[in-house]
C-alpha cells in the first residue's frame, strides 16, 4: 500500500502561489493588507490542494482547537440576543469557543463571513436565516451547520411557530368577545415575520367571520407608530402586532391618541415590553429554547450523534 501524500505546509502553499509565507499567513488570518488579486491566487491554491492549517499553526495564531461561528442578522435584535445567550453556555460546556458575526440581512455578507470561517477552520456554524438567503449558498456546510428562524432543504434548522403564534392570539381575543381585531405586520417579502404571520391573521379572520384590518411595514418602532393610525378605527377593540418592537410603537400612538380601551397583543414576549406594559398580551416564541435546541443539534451533528433534521419550537401564550 502506498503511503499517503505528505501534508502541505504554509511554505508549500507559498511556493505554489508565488508569494511569501507571511502573505499566506495574512490570507489565512483574513488580514486586509493583502491585495484582492493576491488573496484570490492564494485561496485558489488552498482550495485546489484542500489545505487545512495544522492545529499547531492555529495555536500559534491564538486560535482555539474547537470554534463555532455564530452569524446573527442584527446585533441589536432582542430575540436573537436571547437565543445567543442560550447557545453560548451549551457550547462552552462542550469545549467550544465562538466567533460572533453580523449579516445585516445581506446575503453577500453571509458569503463573506462563511469564507472567513472556512479559512479559520471552524468546526461548525449557527446561522440566523432571513429572506433572500438561499440554500445553494449554504449546502457545502450541510454537515456542520444549523440554521435558525428559516427552514432550508438539506440543512438542519430550528424555527419558530409563526402562524401558531398569531392563531393563539386570535383565539384568545375571539373567546374574550372581540369582534374588531386589527393587525400591524411586516411586508410579505419577509417569509416568517411577514407572510406567515399575516396569512395566519387573515385565515383566523375568515374562520371567525371577522373583517380584517391590516397594515404592513417593517420591524421598527416608527412603523408601528405610523401604521397604528391606519388600522385603529373607532370600533377597534384589539390590535395584534407582529413583533414587540412594532407593539412599542403602536402603544406610543395609543397613548397620544386615547380612545375606547384597546387590548394590544404582540409576538415576542421580550422582557422590556413585559416590564413597561404588563397589560400587553404577548406570545412567547421560545427564543431561549430555540437557541438551546440549535446548540444541541449542532453538537450532535459534529459528534455524529444525530442527522439533519428540522425542528419547530412550540410557542406559548403568557
User: Does 2 map to a domain?
Assistant: no
Residues 148 and 297 reside in one and the same domain = yes
DSSP secondary structure letters along 183-237: EEEE-TTSIIIIIIHHHHHHHHHHHTT---EEEEE-SSHHHHHHHHHHH--TT--
Residues 157 and 203 reside in one and the same domain = no
pLDDT of 32: 66
DSSP 141: G
Residues 300 and 151 reside in one and the same domain = yes
- Would you call 138 helix, strand, or coil by DSSP? coil
Residues 142 and 246 reside in one and the same domain = no
pLDDT of 156: 96
Residues 218 and 273 reside in one and the same domain = yes
User: Does 72 map to a domain?
Assistant: yes
Domain total of the chain: 3
Distances, alpha carbon 15 to alpha carbons 42, 87, 122, 232, in Å: 10, 41, 25, 69
- Phi-psi category of 157—alpha, beta or left, where left has phi over 0 and alpha has psi -120 to 50? beta
- Would you call 129 helix, strand, or coil by DSSP? coil
CA dist 190 and 280 (Å) reads: 25
Chain position carrying cell 419550537: 313
Q: How far is CA 238 from the centre of its chain?
A: 29
Residues 273 and 292 reside in one and the same domain = no
117 in Cβ contact with 99 (< 8 Å): yes
Residues 174 and 241 reside in one and the same domain = yes
Residues 118 and 230 reside in one and the same domain = no
pLDDT of 240: 98
Residues 154 and 296 reside in one and the same domain = yes
Helix (H) or strand (E) holding 292: helix 287-303
CA dist 145 and 127 (Å) reads: 7
Tens-place pLDDT, residues 58-103: 444 444 468 999 999 999 888 899 999 999 999 999 999 999 999 9
Residues 280 and 201 reside in one and the same domain = yes
pLDDT of 22: 77
CA dist 68 and 121 (Å) reads: 10
Q: Per the structure block, which three cell numbers stand in for 146?
A: 444549523
The residue segments making up the domain with residue 100 are 67-161+287-317
* CATH number of the CATH domain containing 130: 3.40.50.2300
By DSSP bridging, strand 281-284 and strand 316-317 are antiparallel
Low-confidence ranges of the chain (pLDDT < 70): 1-7, 30-32, 52-65
Residues 143 and 175 reside in one and the same domain = no
Chain position carrying cell 456546510: 141
Chain position carrying cell 490570507: 27
Q: Per the structure block, which three cell numbers stand in for 270?
A: 421580550
Residues 94 and 31 reside in one and the same domain = no
pLDDT of 44: 87
DSSP 51: -
DSSP 242: S
User: Does 310 map to a domain?
Assistant: yes
Tens-place pLDDT, residues 260-278: 789 999 999 888 888 889 8
Amino acid at each position: 500500500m502506498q503511503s499517503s501524500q505528505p501534508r502541505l505546509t504554509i511554505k508549500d502553499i507559498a511556493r505554489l502561489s508565488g508569494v511569501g509565507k507571511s502573505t499566506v499567513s495574512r490570507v489565512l488570518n483574513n488580514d486586509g493588507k493583502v491585495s484582492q488579486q493576491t488573496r484570490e491566487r492564494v485561496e485558489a491554491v488552498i482550495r485546489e490542494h484542500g489545505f487545512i492549517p495544522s492545529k499547531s499553526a492555529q495555536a500559534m495564531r491564538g486560535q482555539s482547537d474547537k470554534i463555532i461561528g455564530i452569524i446573527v442578522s442584527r446585533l441589536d435584535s432582542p430575540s436573537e440576543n436571547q437565543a445567543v445567550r442560550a447557545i453560548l453556555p451549551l457550547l462552552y460546556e462542550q469545549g467550544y469557543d465562538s466567533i460572533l458575526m453580523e449579516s445585516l440581512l445581506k446575503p453577500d455578507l453571509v458569503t463573506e463571513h462563511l469564507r472567513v470561517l472556512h479559512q479559520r477552520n471552524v468546526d461548525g456554524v449557527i446561522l440566523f436565516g432571513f429572506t433572500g438567503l438561499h440554500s445553494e449558498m449554504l449546502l457545502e456546510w450541510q454537515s456542520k451547520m444549523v440554521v435558525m428562524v428559516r427552514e432550508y432543504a438539506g440543512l438542519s434548522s430550528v424555527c419558530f411557530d409563526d402562524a401558531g403564534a398569531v392563531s393563539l392570539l386570535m383565539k384568545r381575543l375571539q373567546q374574550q368577545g372581540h369582534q374588531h381585531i386589527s393587525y400591524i405586520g411586516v411586508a410579505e417579502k419577509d417569509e416568517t415575520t411577514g407572510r406567515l404571520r399575516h396569512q395566519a391573521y387573515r385565515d383566523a379572520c375568515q374562520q371567525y367571520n371577522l373583517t380584517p384590518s391590516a397594515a404592513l411595514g417593517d420591524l421598527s418602532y416608527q412603523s408601528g407608530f405610523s401604521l397604528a393610525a391606519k388600522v385603529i378605527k373607532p370600533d377597534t377593540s384589539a390590535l395584534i402586532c407582529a413583533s414587540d418592537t412594532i407593539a412599542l410603537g403602536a402603544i406610543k400612538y395609543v397613548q397620544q391618541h386615547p380612545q375606547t380601551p384597546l387590548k394590544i397583543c404582540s409576538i415576542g414576549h421580550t422582557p422590556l415590553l413585559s416590564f413597561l406594559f404588563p397589560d400587553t398580551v404577548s406570545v412567547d416564541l421560545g427564543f431561549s429554547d430555540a437557541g438551546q435546541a440549535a446548540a444541541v443539534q449542532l453538537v450532535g451533528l459534529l459528534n455524529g450523534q444525530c442527522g439533519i433534521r428540522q425542528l419547530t419550537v412550540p410557542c406559548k401564550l403568557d
